[in-house]
């Protein structure tokens, strides 16, 4: 496992779900955590809770679809903690779920702004502060390669993110950048509630017990920061894979 003590970890979409679980997991290992999201009160509450347990954490309000917001977020991170060692591009949405022939074009564009452009903005802002290397993890999805009714915008955004990661690896591996995608599978978060409520496609029919807990992807991302994950640089690590689950220590 990577030594994360005093490393600076910036997590987008950190107000709940996978992002919040990751903040607690990295903080428990001694990392300095930056929680970023649009929900100011929620990320401040999590940061305060980490601090009461002896951890180091700050909250920065940020809309990842706004390039200036993202640049400011990275600047504040480095000003506060001096470095940026790990960037986790976790922020993402799936709403509105619906077929392309009835989709609102502005809503479609908003998802692309968050799920794809927001990832690029994070990478673009982080790289100048990672001259000595660093790890950039992006949350992907099996939907990148598996078309689903009502999810065209989400599937397209995740397919693009997977390729963006591969290109980042091609361009920056020689400069010490470790670029990885985590495809977590279905996770017991608020997003799954929205999917269930939609009643669209096979994923909405899954039982809540079919979803993994949010701390599984959080633990996987910690593992991904270490050398054991180096064989997957530039690739997608699927948490559906039992071998990966064993490597992370989630199953025997």
**Residue numbers annotated as active site:** 154
Nearest to 11, CA basis, from 131, 42, 200: 42
- What is the rounded CA–CA span in Å between residue 9 and residue 25? 11
- What is the rounded CA–CA span in Å between residue 209 and residue 213? 9
Beta bridge partners of 187: 212
- What is the rounded CA–CA span in Å between residue 201 and residue 98? 10
Q: Is the peptide bond before 96 cis (omega within 30 degrees of 0)?
A: yes
DSSP class per residue in 130-155:
-TT-EEEEEE--GGGTS--TT-HHHH
DSSP, collapsed to helix, strand or coil, labels residue 43 as: helix
Nearest to 44, CA basis, from 34, 53, 54: 34
- Sign of the torsion formed by the C-alpha atoms of 238, 231, 234 and 11: positive
């Amino acid at each position: 496992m990577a030594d994360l003590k005093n490393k600076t970890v910036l997590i987008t979409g950190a107000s709940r779900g996978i992002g919040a679980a990751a903040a607690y997991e990295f903080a428990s290992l001694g990392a300095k955590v930056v929680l970023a999201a649009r929900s100011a009160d929620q990320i401040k509450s999590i940061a305060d809770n980490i601090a009461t347990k002896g951890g180091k954490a700050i909250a920065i309000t940020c809309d990842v679809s706004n390039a200036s917001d993202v640049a400011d977020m990275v600047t504040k991170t480095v000003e506060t903690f001096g470095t940026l060692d790990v960037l986790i591009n976790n922020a993402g949405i799936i709403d509105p779920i619906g077929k392309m022939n009835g989709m609102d074009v502005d809503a479609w564009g908003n998802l692309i702004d968050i799920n794809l452009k927001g990832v690029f903005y994070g990478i673009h802002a982080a790289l100048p502060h990672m001259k000595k290397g660093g790890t950039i993890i992006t949350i992907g999805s099996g939907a990148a390669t598996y078309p689903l009714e009502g999810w065209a915008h989400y599937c397209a955004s995740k397919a693009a993110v997977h390729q963006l990661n591969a290109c980042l690896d091609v361009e920056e591996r020689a400069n010490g950048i470790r670029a990885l995608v985590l495809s977590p599978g279905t996770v017991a978060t608020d997003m799954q509630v929205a999917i269930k409520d939609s009643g669209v496609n096979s994923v909405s029919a899954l039982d809540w017990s079919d979803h993994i807990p949010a701390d599984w992807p959080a633990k996987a991302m910690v593992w991904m920061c270490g050398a054991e994950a180096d064989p997957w640089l530039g690739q997608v690590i699927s948490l559906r894979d039992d071998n990966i689950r064993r490597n992370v220590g989630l199953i025997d």
